[in-house]
Amino acid sequence: MAAYDDLLDRYRRISNIGNAAGLLNWDQQVMMPDGGTPARSQQLAALSTTRHELLVSDETADLLDAAEAAGLEPAEQAVVREIRREYERETDVPSDLVDELTRTQSDAQETWQDAKAESDFESFAPTLRDLRDLHRDRAGYIDDAKSPYAVLFEDGEPYLPLSRVEQVFEELKAELPDLIEAIRESESEVAWPFEGSYDEDAQLALCRDALDFLGYDWDRGRLDTAPHPFMSGNQFDARITTRFKEGEPLDALTAAVHEFGHATYQLGLRDDAYATPLGEPRSSGVHESQSRFWENHVGRTRAFWEAFLPKFTDRFPQHADATVEDLYQAVNKVRPDNRIRVEADEITYHLHIILRCEIDRAFVEGDLAADEIPATWNEKMDQYLGVRPRNDAEGCLQDIHWSYGFAGFQNYTVGSVLAAQLEAAMEEDIGDLDAHIRRGEFEPMHEWLTENVHEHGCRYTTDELIEEATGEPLTAEYYLDHVREKFGELYDL
């Protein structure tokens, strides 16, 4: 047990260095002056290199060996398993590569933001190529027997096989296009009541109203704005961001509710396990299931708008006559002509993900050159959604993700699929969710998710956690049932 305790102490140091880097990254996207990038890149590189060297040191290896030889409880065995996995993935990666990759990622955020503002992919392409090459080099050090793309996918989703995720994608591709086409041909009109401009202060106030309503812990969080909405933090400090669109007040709201879902995961992790694998989230896909649950299975329901409509009309008195049905239809309107992923409805959203994954993989594997990305993106958007971006900013530059890395877009779809599966299991245990939402009773949902997902941290592998929570492996069945029923009723299919 002494070896286990020493290993845990060492990992806490490693984890806290990473958490400090996360806070610097939050600051870079939210608060840092525009000219701060050169210093920030050095700061983040110093932290990531120090963390890497502590993780892959001989002392860490010795402590892992000693801990594995001890008689440990199952939860302790899971801790050692997680640290061992991270150690083995990183042990052959050179520190100078970690340093260079971190600096390039930090610089890339500013390059991406400037390129998007100018709608100029060409100015971002050299940085994107450099990032791709650095990530490929790192993947080769981790496991040169696998494709670089598969290795990078395992960064965010360590235990769910890429082949299983691809199977889920095939199931969605087999059904969603026909559903979207039926909606296009439907004679049912779904309301879109917004016109003119909406004050940003009022939009921000509405977001805060929603977070109050859902039960956000302001003592452990805050709401800010960022070029691309995100959440950052831990169980003591989970911060969220949103952004505003002048003519569509629901975009900021749904983004805030989405990021609230991410924050609930962080805040639901065990306080006493902070900076250990038992106090860290399981995976990107599981994390996304929490945000998609709160955004789609709570914030886009009639029950939510039955309770929340007065707040909306209070903030936007020009809609004083709006009905629950007006807002419910607006927040669920299927718009295949929408070019922006984070503004997409529950169905067309996944076609945005599919086109990204296809481009992402082709680029990483060397089958697509950087300068071919804009045209390929536009062609695939036309193929899948019947619309073309008018410029790079609303096309291949719209997401910040490539300034960090690759092979992560799949987890948005994994999250949506898992969210529907979790909803079905939750209803079996606590009853009709709409009734809870209508009454503003969110504590039973928070408690169920904490008990079945959050408080386990990384104790279970992804498949094990899903089976613990829902009683069965990951399946697209519940998501497909959900969208068939919901949008079939909306569009009278």
Q: Which residues are annotated as catalytic? A: 259
For residue 238, list its beta bridge partners.
Answer: 233
User: 3-state DSSP call for residue 377?
Assistant: helix
In one-letter notation, the amino acid at residue 148 is P
What DSSP line would sit under 450-490, residue for residue? HHHTGGGTTSS-HHHHHHHHHSS---SHHHHHHHHHHHHHH
Q: Is 39 exposed, middle or buried (0-12, 13-18, 19+ CB in 10 A)?
A: exposed
> 204: which 2 tokens?
């921000």
Q: Is 269 exposed, middle or buried (0-12, 13-18, 19+ CB in 10 A)?
A: buried
Which strands sit side by side in the sheet containing 231-234, from one edge to the other? Answer: 223-225, 237-242, 231-234
| d(C-alpha 412, C-alpha 351), whole Å | 11
> 90: which 2 tokens?
């990183």
**Number of CB atoms found within 10 A of residue 86's CB:** 17
Q: Name the one residue in this structure whose structure tokens are 């993700």.
A: 401
| d(C-alpha 474, C-alpha 396), whole Å | 30
Contact 393, 345 (CB under 8 A): no
> 423: which 2 tokens?
């909803």
| d(C-alpha 281, C-alpha 288), whole Å | 11
In one-letter notation, the amino acid at residue 122 is E
| d(C-alpha 296, C-alpha 332), whole Å | 9
Nearby residues of 203 by Cβ (< 8 Å), 6 or more positions away: 244, 249, 252, 253, 315
